[in-house]
Amino acid sequence: MSFVPFQASGTTNSAAEPQGTNAGDNRPSREEERQLVQRAIDRDSTAFAELYDKHVVRVYRHIYYLVTDAREAEDLTAQTFLKAWEAIDRYKERGAPFVAWLLRIGHNLTVSHLRSKRDHSELDEAFIDQKQNRNPEEALERSTDENSVREALLGLRDEQRQVIMLRFVEELDYREVAAMIGKSVPAVRVIQHRALGNLRKLMQG
């Protein structure tokens, strides 16, 4: 399926990455991005489409890390950008890059989606399908490990989970994470330390 309504480059062509601008190429400068964001706030859909094209891969990867299913990741990515477009007039920079705002929207949508699935005891068949081409013993071990990490992440407090995802999945530095969640750098370090400890306990049972 294609992402809507701001499909700029094509549809998803693999389980790990949607087609379109490479995440590391052609990124706008901070000032150019500010201008695009301001135009989008003024309801310029062309400007928002450009922001979409620049950041869709990164948002998709963040979501895919949690859901491990291409179709679900596509749907949640599309929902993320729809919600961002609807809320763009309320966007405030606060020192973090625009993509951080998109990641927060996508992260919250994905966590709600996974909790809903877990609450309804649905079998994640797509997650199992992703492993079918592996050696059976390796597939069982890795699927158990990956599922345990994902379940443990969902067991963290929202703030702790977000810091772990931003630091170790998105590889943002402490300053960027602090600006995104509205905390000081020392506070982010404390949150990360506690989150890693809690994650370890959750993984151990």
3-state secondary structure of 65: helix
Tens-place pLDDT, residues 10-57: 333 444 455 444 444 455 688 899 999 999 999 999 999 999 999 999
Average pLDDT, integer, range 61-69: 87
How confident is the model over 140-151, as pLDDT tens digits?
A: 344 446 677 777
Which residues, 6 or more positions from 146, have their beta carbon under 8 angstroms from its beta carbon? 68
The CA distances from residue 63 to 17, 47, 88, 147, 170, in Å, are 11, 23, 20, 15, 11
For residue 7, the model assigns a pLDDT of: 45
Instruction: Check pLDDT > 50 for residue 9.
Output: no
Whether the pLDDT of residue 3 is over 80: the answer is: no
From the candidate CATH numbers 3.40.50.970, 3.40.50.1100, 3.40.710.10, 1.10.1740.10, the one assigned to the domain spanning 1-124: 1.10.1740.10
Q: Which residue has the higher pLDDT, 127 or 186?
A: 186
Domain 131-205 carries which CATH code?
Answer: 1.10.10.10
Residue 4: CB atoms within 10 Å: 10
Numbered ranges of CATH 1.10.1740.10 in the chain: 1-124
What is the location of CATH 1.10.10.10 in the chain? 131-205
pTM over 0.75: no
Interatomic CA distance for residues 150 and 67, integer angstroms: 8
pLDDT digits (tens, 9 = 90+) for 174-187: 998 998 888 999 99
**DSSP-derived secondary structure letter, 94:** T
CA dist 147 and 1 (Å) reads 26
List 18's β-bridge partners, or say none.
12
Inform me whether the pLDDT recorded for 139 exceeds 50. Answer: no
The total number of residues written for the chain in this structure: 205
Residue 92's pLDDT is what?
87
